[in-house]
Amino acid sequence: MSRTFALAALALLAGCMVGPDYKRPEAPTPTDYKEDGWKPAEPKDAARRGDWWSIYNDPVLDGLEKQIDISNQTLKSAEAAYDQARAVVAEGVAGLFPTLSLTGSGTRSGQGATVVPPAAASSFNLSAAASWDTDLWGRLRRTVESEVAGAQASAADLANARLVAQGQLATLYFELRAADALQKLLYKAVDAFTQSLQITRNQFAGGTVAETDVVTAETQVEQTRAQAIAVGVQRAQDEHAIAALIGKPPAELAIAPAPLTMTVPVPPAELPSALLERRPDIAAAERLMASANAQIGVAIAGYYPDVTLSGSYGYASSGLAKLLRAANSLWSVGGQFIEPVFNADLTAAQVAAAKASYAQAVANYRQTVLTGFQQVEDQLAALRILAQQQVVEDNTVRLAREEERLTLNQYQQGTVAYTAVIVAQTTRLTNEETALSIVQSRLVASVALVQALGGGWSAGALPDERQVKADDPATPAH
């Protein structure tokens, strides 16, 4: 009966863990987005799909994005960091169990130079020893709790690294396509200006205009041609950056020119409260809070005694044949009790440091949440304002083209100087470039909004404690 009572008491003590149990603190969360009243056409459920870039309906972009998981080296580094965090958890879990060691030895000694001295002595030993830190106050278990939360934060960091790389690639891709469109626009302008140049040459040949008109027209043609060529620098750099993101040397990637899409999808923002579960950086900050909270318990356990049980059983004999006989058996059981008496308030300082670290983690979490809301609002506002600007700029382009047509007719009739044609043509080209830039900015803002909303990720994709501790868990979901 006494043995049963002792075991029950030990089990009860083993279930005790000092320190605060984790409860996620509140974070400042609005009920609605400031820009919520703006409701453009939204792709159905686009933000909830892992392949969020499919909302742009671009097969080339789709193929590039899928290579991120295969070869992106930043992502490989994040995966290795997660594996390392899981290994640390495994180390902590191992500390909860008894350790067992087996030792064997044999010696033969004597004096003199003979191979088998007459007074030789032999000694053989075989023993097994075990020890177990009973973790009465939960120091080891709180450590594992902290490490599991840390591994989950690492998994969220992995998801965030994936989302960042995907967003960077999409942004670069639309910059590259905008460069294609700008180069096409400039070469089209070169063709139009060349036609104007031919008109000035005809006028000059007819003696109705001065040679300066011809030189001015030639200058405009060559200047625009130079601008078109210069666009190639930015396009090449975008292509090289895309290659690096998908883990390839620039020489192994060539993206053929193609039009820039004029359709700008705007994913639904959902409710602000959903953002706390959608963004991997917020999830990582939340898990770091849990990890820091568990460390408070680790530090508080320093106030309490540490009890380690140990035991050994083995055999010792002067002859190998007699070693495993019962008469030669040896055993021992014991325990070690360590109670801190004086450490110059070291434990108190460690507890204070752990609490301060937790307070810092809480502040970081809340700031991450605030930054998330800011980024969503920023991109919603950008998309709303840019859409309004696009309408006005498209109308401006239409008017500028009409002004150019009328001015060129007036020049041919001899009623205006060629400088008026140059001004009209430059104004038209500048407005067309601005309209193109607005489309690019809207696409980039659309990508940034998808990122700000988490790219379809959910905190439910984080590995749970069982998966973190598993020998071969599945890769954390996207």
* Cα angle value 444/450/453 (rounded, 5°): 140
Residue from 367, 383, 299, 333 nearest 130 by CA: 333
Q: What strand order describes the sheet that includes 121-133?
A: 99-109, 121-133, 306-317, 329-338
According to CATH, the topology of domain 15-96+135-305+345-469 is: Outer membrane efflux proteins (OEP) (1.20.1600)
Q: What is the mean pLDDT of residues 354-362?
A: 97
Q: Is the pLDDT of residue 9 over 90?
A: no
pLDDT tens per residue, range 88-123: 999 999 999 999 999 988 888 876 655 555 556 788
Percent of the chain with pLDDT over 90: 73
Residue from 414, 424, 431, 423 nearest 199 by CA: 414
Looking at residue 46, its pLDDT comes to 44
**Residue 7 or 330, more confident:** 330
**Residue 109 or 85, more confident:** 85
Looking at residue 316, its pLDDT comes to 86
Looking at residue 161, its pLDDT comes to 96
**Residue 119 or 438, more confident:** 438
Q: Is the pLDDT of residue 2 over 80?
A: no
Q: How many CB atoms lie within 10 A of CB 289?
A: 25
Confidence of residue 472 (pLDDT cuts 50, 70, 90): low
Q: Is the pLDDT of residue 40 over 60?
A: no
Confidence of residue 269 (pLDDT cuts 50, 70, 90): confident
What are the distances in angstroms from CA 94 to CA 60, 154, 225, 280, 382? 48, 21, 70, 29, 52
Place of tokens 């430059």: 426
Looking at residue 126, its pLDDT comes to 87
**Residue-range domain boundaries for the chain:** 15-96+135-305+345-469, 113-134+307-339
Determine the Cα–Cα distance for residues 400 and 420; give it in Å rounded to an integer. 13
Looking at residue 34, its pLDDT comes to 86
pLDDT tens per residue, range 119-159: 567 888 889 999 998 888 999 999 999 999 999 999 999 99
pLDDT tens per residue, range 167-215: 999 999 999 999 999 999 999 999 999 999 999 999 999 998 999 999 9
Looking at residue 115, its pLDDT comes to 54
pLDDT tens per residue, range 293-309: 999 999 999 999 988 99
Determine the Cα–Cα distance for residues 444 and 272; give it in Å rounded to an integer. 22
What integer best gives the mean pLDDT of the chain?
A: 89
Residue from 198, 194, 197 nearest 186 by CA: 194
Q: Is the pLDDT of residue 258 over 90?
A: yes
Looking at residue 6, its pLDDT comes to 44
Q: Is the pLDDT of residue 397 over 60?
A: yes
Confidence of residue 41 (pLDDT cuts 50, 70, 90): very low
Looking at residue 462, its pLDDT comes to 93
Q: Is the pLDDT of residue 13 over 60?
A: no
